[in-house]
Amino acid sequence: MSNFAIVATVLSMILGLSVTRLLLGALTVFRIRRIAKPDWVPLVWAVMLFATQLDFWWAVNSLPAVKTTFSFLEFLLLVLLALSLFVAAALLVPSRSEDEQHGLRIYFEQDGRYALLSLSTYLLLGLCVNVALFHASPIALWGALDVIMIILPVCAFLARSRKAYSIITLIYVPITAFDLAISLST
C-alpha cells in the first residue's frame, strides 16, 4: 500500500511554510525600503532559494513515478530536506522591520548568511537521498553540479569580504539555473 499521500502532505505543509516565510521576508524588505537600504546579494540568494523550494516541491509530485512506499527513515530524510529549506528561508531575509534597522546588507552579514549553511545542508542531504533512496549515480552531471552547489554557499558564508561573497553569489546563479533546467527537463 502506498504511503505517498502522507509523505506529500507533510512535505507540502513544510514547503508551504517555507515559501510563505521567504515571501513575507521579501515583503518586509519592500515595506521598509525607505528606512533600511536593500541589498542585492541576499535578494539574489532569496530568488535562488525560492527556485530551489519550487523545484523540490515539483520533485515531490514526481515521487510516485520513482517510489510509492517509504519507510519511516526515508520519510524523515525527506522531512529533513524540507526543514532545511524552511530554516534557510527563515534566516535569509528578516521577517520584522526591527530586524533590519541598519539595512539588509548588515542583516545578511550578521544573521542572514547562516541561511547559506542550511541551503548547503539541503543540497548535501538531497545528494544523499538521490543516491541512497533513488539509486542515482553520483558521478553523473547532476552530482557534480550538486557538489559545486554545496560548496559555494559554504564559501559565501565563510567569506568575510563583500567582494568575495558577492562574486560567489554571481557564480552560484548560472550554476543553479543550469541545474534547475536539467532537473525540470527530466
Which single residue is written with the C-alpha cell 547562516?
Answer: 114
Mean pLDDT of 22-31: 91
The pLDDT tens digits for 143-162 are 899 999 999 999 999 999 99
Task: Mention every residue, 6+ apart, whose C-beta is less than 8 A from residue 125.
Answer: 77, 80, 81, 84
Q: What is the pLDDT of residue 100?
A: 65
pLDDT(97) > 80:
no
- pTM for this structure? 0.93
CA 102 to chain centroid, in Å, comes to 25
Mean pLDDT of 4-16: 94
Predicted confidence band of residue 136 (pLDDT cuts 50, 70, 90) = confident
Q: What is the pLDDT of residue 141?
A: 85
Rounded CA-CA distance 108/42 in Å is 6
Rounded CA-CA distance 100/109 in Å is 11
Backbone φ and ψ of 32, nearest 5°: -105, 20
A 10 A CB-CB count for 14 gives 19
Burial of 6 (0-12, 13-18, 19+ CB in 10 A): exposed
The pLDDT tens digits for 41-52 are 999 999 999 999
pLDDT(96) > 90:
no
Quick one: angle between helices 72-92 and 40-66, nearest 10? 160
Q: Which residue has the higher pLDDT, 140 or 72?
A: 72
pLDDT(78) > 70:
yes
Rounded CA-CA distance 10/90 in Å is 18
Q: Is 25 left (phi over 0), alpha (psi -120 to 50) or beta?
A: alpha
The pLDDT tens digits for 66-76 are 888 999 999 99
Q: What is the pLDDT of residue 103?
A: 83
Q: What is the pLDDT of residue 14?
A: 97
